Structures are given as C-alpha cells and as structure tokens.
C-alpha cells in the first residue's frame, strides 16, 4: 500500500463501518492489529511507514490502537480509494472511495468464506497434484464433501490457514505458491526449500514482482524447480 502526502483530511461524510475494516484486517493480516513481520508493512491494515505518516499517523502503525489505525485508513481511503488494498478489497467487493462500500453483512460473510475455504482447498489440492491413483484410493465419502463445500470459483487463490505450510512443504515442486499475510520472499524460500533462496524466487517472478520487499497476500508466485 503506497502513500502520497495530502494537505488536510476531513472527516468522511459516511464513515465506513468498523465491521468492514475488521474484515479487511482479517484478509490483510489475519486480524492482528499489532503485527510487524519486518516485510515493510505493519498494523492490522498493513501500512507502509510512508503511508502511515503521510495520512496523519504518528509513531508506528503496529503501536497504534485499532481506532487510530482505522482513523488513518479513512484518510487513505479518501486519498487513494480501496485500491490502496488491491488484493483484499477485490476479494471483499470494495470499490471507489467509500461510497460503494459493500454492506457489513456482505463483507462479514465474504470474510468468513475466506477463512473457511482455505482448509478445504488444501485438503483437495494435494491428491489432485500428486497422481490419479491417490485420488482413486481415497474413500468416495471423503471426496464428495470437498466438492460441495468449496466451489472452485470461490477459493482458488486463498491460503490463509495453518494447513497451507505442510501442503506446500510436501510438494515444493508444485510450481506455484499463494502469498499469505506476513510472508516475505525470504520466508517463502526457506519454507519451500527453494534452491538459491529468495534471490532465485525473486528472479522467477520478475515479471509480476517489481520490488523484492513488496508482495501482497493472495498474490500467486512461481516456484522455481
């Protein structure tokens, strides 16, 4: 989330509901308002230091209260729109500069779907990628709930749950990895055992990752063999 300084900030005519910010924070940082993983983003809404300062924040985002982070986020929304959080605002159906905000019930439902879909996707992905015999050996009773519970259109790029790490480690040559909140190229390279470390991972994704220190949750990376 890049920032540009603005002259002054007025209180929004129609403030965004707190439930909407909660849903956005759940997508950006797992709902941890005090997080700072060292990847250049901090706080529940993943501010960069420059954005935090430019839009009225003092000190650090991770050290500020939830209410203060939301206040600064309202200023960012006025100046940059929901595009300041591109991946998560798209998932939650947020657009414009606050006027087109999705309803709190809709955002809460979508955020819940994000959290529920991740483990289902991981359980189904491993057998499909490994081999046809593995899928045939699994009991039919297990396969049917997976197909009913998680439509492919809803969760192809969501991997926010704890089971994601074991699945990615078990098949490091799968070819792709979906960025989770708090990830950096270094932690991903270590987790997946990428030969050549984060430099090799950055080189393999030079077409989509312009800055090695700037990746977003939900972004799909190519994993070199």
User: What pLDDT is attached to residue 46?
Assistant: 96
Write the pLDDT tens digit of every residue in 56-65. Answer: 999 999 999 9
Q: Which residue has the higher pLDDT, 47 or 103?
A: 47
Q: Report d(CA 120, CA 147) in Å as an integer.
A: 9
User: What pLDDT is attached to residue 98?
Assistant: 57
| Residue 107 pLDDT level (bands cut at 50, 70, 90) | very low
User: What pLDDT is attached to residue 62?
Assistant: 95
Round the average pLDDT of the chain to a whole number and report it.
72
The two structure tokens encoding residue 8 = 């002054």
Q: Report d(CA 17, CA 224) in Å as an integer.
A: 42
Q: Report d(CA 102, CA 21) in Å as an integer.
A: 11
Write the pLDDT tens digit of every residue in 166-202. Answer: 333 333 445 899 999 989 989 998 989 898 899 998 9
Alpha-carbon distances of 7 from 28, 52, 75, 162, rounded to whole Å: 27, 14, 11, 42
CATH of segment(s) 175-223: 3.10.350.10
Does the domain at 18-92 match CATH 1.10.530.10? Answer given as: yes
Do 175-223 and 18-92 have the same topology in CATH? no
Instruction: Write down the domain spans for the chain.
Output: 18-92, 175-223
Kindly give, in sequence order, each residue whose CB lies less than 8 Å from that of residue 136, ignoring residues fewer than 6 positions away: none
Give me the half-sphere count of Cα atoms (radius 13 Å) on the Cβ side of residue 7. Answer: 0
- Give yes or no for a contact between 69 and 45, defined as CB atoms under 8 angstroms apart: yes
């Amino acid at each position: 989330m890049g920032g540009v300084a603005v002259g002054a900030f007025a209180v929004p005519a129609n403030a965004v509901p707190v439930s909407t910010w909660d849903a956005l924070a759940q997508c950006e940082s797992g709902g941890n308002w005090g997080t700072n993983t060292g990847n250049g983003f901090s706080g529940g809404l993943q501010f960069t230091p420059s954005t935090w300062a430019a839009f009225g924040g003092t000190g650090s985002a991770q050290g500020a209260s939830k209410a203060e982070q939301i206040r600064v986020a309202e200023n960012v929304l006025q100046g940059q729109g929901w595009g300041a959080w591109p991946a998560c605002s798209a998932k939650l159906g947020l657009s414009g500069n606050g006027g087109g905000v999705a309803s709190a019930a809709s955002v809460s439902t979508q955020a819940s779907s994000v959290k529920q879909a991740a483990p289902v996707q991981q359980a189904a992905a491993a057998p499909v990628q490994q081999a046809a015999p593995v899928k045939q050996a699994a009991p039919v009773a297990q396969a049917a709930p997976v197909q009913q519970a998680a439509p492919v259109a809803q969760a192809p790029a969501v991997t926010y749950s704890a089971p994601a790490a074991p699945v990615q480690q078990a098949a490091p040559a799968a070819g792709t990895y979906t960025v989770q909140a708090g990830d950096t190229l270094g932690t991903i390279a270590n987790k997946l055992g990428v030969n050549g470390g984060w430099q090799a991972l950055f080189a393999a994704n030079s077409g989509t990752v312009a800055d090695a220190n700037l990746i977003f949750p939900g972004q799909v990376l190519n994993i070199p063999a």
